[in-house]
Amino acid sequence: MTKTIITVVGKDTVGIIAKVCTYLANNKINILDISQTIVSGYFNMMMIVDMNQTDKPFNDCAKELEQVGEEIGVKITCQHEDIFEMMHRV
């Protein structure tokens, strides 16, 4: 399984989750886990997804999700699970 960590951060607005999830569904990317909060009007979401079924390379998906974020006014980043774990190792 090719797990990827997707983070979405920005000013809260209607449709953020819908837009991100629509992109994922259209590209056969399965959501394994999701957590989202809103603090003082700021939206924060972290997703763990499985990218095994998508036909697109990781870098293409990451770039396209970044563009989706720009369209809706949030910052979207993607990281391979192993890189994310190394960055957050104590």
CA 45/CA 35 separation, integer angstroms: 6
**What's the pLDDT at 83?**
66
In sequence order, the 6+-apart residues with CB closer than 8 A to the CB of 18 are none
Q: Maximum CA pair distance of the chain?
A: 38
Beta pairing, strands 74-80 & 30-39 = unpaired
Q: Could you give the percent of the chain with pLDDT greater than 70?
A: 89
Q: Is the pLDDT score of 11 beyond 70?
A: yes
pTM: 0.88
Q: What is the pLDDT of residues 24-71, one digit of tens each?
A: 999 999 999 999 999 999 999 999 999 999 999 999 999 999 999 999
User: Hey, what CATH class is 3-87 in?
Assistant: alpha beta
Q: What tokens does 25 get?
A: 């569904």
